[in-house]
């Protein structure tokens, strides 16, 4: 019984390794820059959604305000680089740390709220942050920040000609987010979070300090999302409040996890692989005027999935739960 | 030696309602004590005060020689208070073994050992065959046993059982009674709230009867069931006169 469990975990690890190798080798065959761009975004959203899943999926604290941490990561990196010449690699870590601290400060206030009230609080806080950044002159206000390009460099993490470095970074980030989840799943925290999600009162009676568990989940989740935001700032090399802190980012982090299977190891990645290319393709094929069509497409997809497979797409792979059922 | 658990003059008021008034009880090490009484007697309130769900309005609670009155539930669990819930609160999306691992983690930081421990507890409670099922898929009597298993995994000194035998078929209840005896045999003290007297009376060493928030009588089960005050509290005055 114990070995069966260990086997399943090892198999997950091997599958992930295979998928990572395939993704890493894909650019050898896919030379089209447009497709490579979609791959970068898919990997980035897989990482973001995986990180969102830690707080909202495992710990059950649904956040629709994670755009805040994404934006904080992007702004911290961009500001430190343009104002103080700090390399993006350090900016990334700083952004992650700042986001984790802010997530805990906000959690301190909001984790007393349960259910819908918590969700509403996360949306409102992210919107307030968006407004603050739109009016903060030093940070470029609504005009945003242009990250100057000074030639391709790993040190400054900017590349004008090739998408490949970004692709490999996004892949690494997705792998890290997956590995962190994989590791946490079979740790004290992983068990505590799922207990808190299912029944906080029972969890408390078994010695789980519910409040601290939520704080831990929020910090890890925000840290990883902020790294994603830092990456995005370098990737697009121009940021403004709406383009890194808008509500759509909160949605795009939540939807892949919901589609693939919320609170599952594979759900976010699976959801991102389906959702992000679909979004990008509908957006470009329906043309500039079809700004809402991509939203309609994945709105319909989410409705269909939640009706047919309420536990997400991963539930199709019943062999995974086969032993448990 | 001091008793394992002692409540000293505990009061609990909810607005104008007095749920517990001046309740002083004690539970000795290794005892099985039944906390009984009619509906609304304040059993569940007292139970929650002991488990640390909320602090009492007045009075103090001593556990294992220490004042735990202000400690939250999680810290009381750390000190050795385990509990079940009257309305079962399984972690429904988790497997049976995972439910128990949550409890085992408080004493074991290594996952492999916590898992091993959880499996042993499941075997003890007769749920080992269900280990990989989702908790949501268990039948009600199994869910009750899962609650006991989860609490036992925290290695409690005192196990609080909230109506674990209520609503079971006679056969299931008998299995439950045997489980409680087995638990005590391992050295765990048991305080159980029950509503149905005939199930608990043969099992407990001592019964404490609550009525209208106060301790009505306490003593050996055979004495308690014959006590006219207890009969009148349960059945009304007419029956007490007949007895």
Q: Give one DSSP letter per residue of chain B, joined into a string.
A: ---SEEEEEEEEEETTEEEEEEE--EE-TT-EEEEE-STTSSHHHHHHHHHTSS--SEEEEEETTEE-TT--HHHHHHHTEEE--SS----TTSBHHHHHHHHHTTT--SHHHHHHHHHHHHHHTT-GGGTTSBGGGS-HHHHHHHHHHHHHHT--SEEEEESSSTT--HHHHHHHHHHHHHHHHTT-EEEEEES-HHHHTTT-SEEEEEETTEEEEEE-HHHHHH-HHHHHHHH-HHHHHH-
What pLDDT sits at residue B40? 84
CB atoms within 10 A of CB A60: 22
What pLDDT sits at residue B240? 55
List, as ranges, residues 203-222 from A with C-beta within 8 Å of B.
Answer: 203-210
Q: How far apart are the first and last CA of chain B?
A: 39
Chain A nearest CA to B156, separation (Å): 10
**A285 vs B45: which has the higher pLDDT:** B45
Q: CA A280 to CA A37: how far, in whole Å? A: 10
What pLDDT sits at residue B153? 96
What pLDDT sits at residue A287? 61
**ipTM (interface pTM):** 0.90
pLDDT tens track for A263-284: 999 999 999 998 889 888 887 7
Q: Annotate B20-65 with DSSP letters as a single string.
A: EEEE--EE-TT-EEEEE-STTSSHHHHHHHHHTSS--SEEEEEETT
Question: Using the beta-carbon criterion (under 8 Å), do A194 and B98 form an inter-chain contact?
Answer: yes
User: What is the band of A323 on the pLDDT scale with cuts at 50, 70, 90?
Assistant: very low
CA distances from A298 to A17, A37, A45, A312, B184 (A): 29, 20, 15, 14, 57
Q: What is the DSSP letter of A312?
A: -
> Exposure string (b/e) for A242-269, b if CB count within 10 Å is 16 or more?
ebbbbeebbebbbbbbbbbbbbbbbbbb
What pLDDT sits at residue B191? 95
> Would the pLDDT of A318 be above 60?
no
B148: which 2 tokens?
């006991």
Q: Are A208 and A232 spatial neighbours (Cβ–Cβ below 8 Å)?
A: no
> Would the pLDDT of A320 be above 70?
no
Considering A41-55, A130-144, A301-315, B37-51, the range whose residues carry the highest mean pLDDT is A41-55
Mean pLDDT of A234-243: 90
Interchain contact A263–B (C-beta under 8 A)? yes
Residue A13 phi/psi, 5° resolution? -65, -40
Question: Using the beta-carbon criterion (under 8 Å), do A206 and B53 form an inter-chain contact?
Answer: no
- The domain segmentation of chain A, as residue ranges, is 10-247
Q: CA A268 to CA A251: how far, in whole Å? A: 13
Interchain contact A103–B (C-beta under 8 A)? no
Q: CA A160 to CA A101: how far, in whole Å? A: 33
B58: which 2 tokens?
């007045």
Residues 6+ apart with CB under 8 A from A253: A45, A48, A49, A51, A52, A66, A67, A70, A225
Question: Using the beta-carbon criterion (under 8 Å), do A201 and B53 form an inter-chain contact?
Answer: yes
What pLDDT sits at residue A85? 84
Q: Are A121 and A110 spatial neighbours (Cβ–Cβ below 8 Å)?
A: yes
Q: CA B200 to CA A223: how far, in whole Å? A: 53
Question: Using the beta-carbon criterion (under 8 Å), do A206 and B72 form an inter-chain contact?
Answer: no
In B, what residues contact A, Cβ < 8 A? 51, 53, 72-74, 77-78, 82-83, 85, 89-95, 97-98, 101-103, 105-106, 109, 111-112, 115-116, 119, 131-134, 150-151, 153-154
Share of chain A above pLDDT 70, in %: 95
pLDDT tens track for A149-177: 777 777 778 887 788 889 999 999 999 99
Per CB-CB distance under 8 Å, the chain A contacts of B130 are: none
In the A/B pair of chains, how many CB contacts fall below 8 A?
88
What pLDDT sits at residue A324? 40
Task: Dihedral sign for Cα B94, B95, B99, B105, please.
Answer: negative
Share of chain A above pLDDT 90, in %: 59
Q: CA B243 to CA B241: how far, in whole Å? A: 5
Q: CA B115 to CA B120: how far, in whole Å? A: 9
Chain B nearest CA to A2, separation (Å): 8
Q: Are B21 and B213 spatial neighbours (Cβ–Cβ below 8 Å)?
A: yes
CA distances from B241 to A60, B211, B237 (A): 57, 18, 6
User: What is the band of A3 on the pLDDT scale with cuts at 50, 70, 90?
Assistant: confident
Question: Using the beta-carbon criterion (under 8 Å), do B91 and A194 form an inter-chain contact?
Answer: yes
Q: Are A51 and A177 spatial neighbours (Cβ–Cβ below 8 Å)?
A: yes
Q: Are A276 and A165 spatial neighbours (Cβ–Cβ below 8 Å)?
A: no
pLDDT tens track for A50-71: 999 999 999 999 999 999 999 9
Q: Give the 3-state secondary structure of residue A239.
A: strand
Per CB-CB distance under 8 Å, the chain A contacts of B102 are: 191-192, 194-195, 203, 206, 208
A30-34, A107-111, B160-164: which range is least confident on average? A30-34
Question: Using the beta-carbon criterion (under 8 Å), do B102 and A205 form an inter-chain contact?
Answer: no
What pLDDT sits at residue B186? 95
Distance, CA of B96 to chain centre: 21
A202, A208, A262, A312, best to mutate vs chain B, most B CBs in 10 Å: A202
Q: Which residues pair with B193 in a beta bridge?
A: B35, B162
Question: Using the beta-carbon criterion (under 8 Å), do B111 and A187 form an inter-chain contact?
Answer: yes
Q: Are B17 and B4 spatial neighbours (Cβ–Cβ below 8 Å)?
A: no
A205: which 2 tokens?
């009676």
Chain A nearest CA to B243, separation (Å): 42
Contacts made by residues A182-185, CB under 8 angstroms, sequence distance 24+: A182/A9, A182/A12, A182/A13, A182/A16, A182/A265, A184/A54, A184/A58, A184/A220, A185/A58, A185/A265
What pLDDT sits at residue A158? 80
B69: which 2 tokens?
């009155």
Question: Using the beta-carbon criterion (under 8 Å), do B111 and A209 form an inter-chain contact?
Answer: no
For chain B, 243 residues long, give each residue's pLDDT as a single digit of tens. 689 999 999 999 998 899 999 999 999 999 999 998 888 888 989 999 999 999 999 999 999 999 999 999 999 999 999 999 999 999 999 999 999 999 999 999 899 999 999 999 999 999 999 999 999 999 999 999 999 999 999 999 999 999 888 888 888 888 999 999 999 999 999 999 987 777 788 899 999 999 998 999 898 988 888 888 888 887 776 665 544
Residue B83 phi/psi, 5° resolution? -145, 160
CB-nearest to A206 from B94, B98, B103 is B103
B41: which 2 tokens?
């007697």
> Exposure string (b/e) for A81-99, b if CB count within 10 Å is 16 or more?
beeeeeebeebbbbbbebb
């Amino acid at each position: 019984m114990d070995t069966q469990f260990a086997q399943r975990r090892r198999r997950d690890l091997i599958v992930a390794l295979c998928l990572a190798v395939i993704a890493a080798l894909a650019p050898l065959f896919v030379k089209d820059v447009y497709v490579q761009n979609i791959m970068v975004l898919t990997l980035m959203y897989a990482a973001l959604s995986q990180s969102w899943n830690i707080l909202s999926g495992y710990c059950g604290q649904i956040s629709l305000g994670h755009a805040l941490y994404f934006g904080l990561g992007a702004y911290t990196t961009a500001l430190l680089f343009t104002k103080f010449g700090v390399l993006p690699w350090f900016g990334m870590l700083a952004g992650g740390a700042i986001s984790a601290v802010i997530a805990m400060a906000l959690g301190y206030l909001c984790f007393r709220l349960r259910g819908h009230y918590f969700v509403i609080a996360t949306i409102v806080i992210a919107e307030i942050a968006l407004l603050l950044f739109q009016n903060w002159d030093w940070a470029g206000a609504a005009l945003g920040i242009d990250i100057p390009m000074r030639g391709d460099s790993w040190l400054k993490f900017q590349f004008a000609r090739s998408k490949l470095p970004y692709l490999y970074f996004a892949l690494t980030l997705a792998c890290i987010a997956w590995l962190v989840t994989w590791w946490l799943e079979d740790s004290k925290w992983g068990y505590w979070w799922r207990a808190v999600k299912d029944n906080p009162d029972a969890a408390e009676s078994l010695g789980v300090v519910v409040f601290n568990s939520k704080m831990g989940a929020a910090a890890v989740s925000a840290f990883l999302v902020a790294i994603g935001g830092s990456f995005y700032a370098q990737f697009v090399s121009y940021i403004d409040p709406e383009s890194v802190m808008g509500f759509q980012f909160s949605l795009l982090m939540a939807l892949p996890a919901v589609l693939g299977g919320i609170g599952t190891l594979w759900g976010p990645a699976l959801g991102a692989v389906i959702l992000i290319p679909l979004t990008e393709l509908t957006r470009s094929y329906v043309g500039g005027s079809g700004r809402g069509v991509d939203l309609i497409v994945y709105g319909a997809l989410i409705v269909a999935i939640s009706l047919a497979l309420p536990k997400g797409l991963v539930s199709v792979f019943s062999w995974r739960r086969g032993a448990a059922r | 030696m001091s008793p394992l658990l002692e409540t000293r003059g505990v009061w609990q008021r909810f607005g104008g309602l007095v749920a517990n008034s001046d309740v002083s009880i004690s539970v000795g090490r290794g005892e099985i004590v039944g906390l009984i009484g009619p509906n609304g007697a304040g059993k569940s309130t007292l139970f929650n005060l002991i488990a640390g769900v909320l602090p009492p309005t007045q009075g103090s609670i001593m556990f294992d020689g220490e004042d735990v009155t202000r400690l939250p539930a999680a810290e009381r669990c750390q000190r050795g208070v385990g509990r079940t819930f009257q309305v079962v609160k399984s972690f429904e999306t988790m497997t049976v073994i995972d439910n128990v691992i949550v409890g085992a983690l408080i004493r074991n930081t290594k996952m492999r050992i916590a898992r091993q421990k959880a499996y042993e507890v499941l075997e003890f409670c007769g749920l080992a065959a269900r280990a990989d099922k989702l908790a949501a898929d268990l039948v009600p009597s199994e869910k009750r046993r899962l609650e006991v298993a989860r609490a036992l995994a925290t290695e409690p000194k005192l196990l609080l059982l909230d109506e674990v035998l209520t609503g079971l078929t006679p056969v299931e209840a008998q299995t439950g009674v045997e489980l409680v005896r087995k638990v005590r045999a391992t050295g765990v003290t048991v305080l159980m709230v029950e509503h149905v007297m005939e199930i608990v009376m043969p099992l407990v060493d001592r019964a404490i009867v609550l009525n209208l928030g106060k301790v009505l009588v306490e003593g050996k089960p055979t004495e308690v069931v014959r006590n006219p005050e207890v009969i009148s509290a349960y059945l009304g005055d007419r029956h007490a006169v007949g007895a």
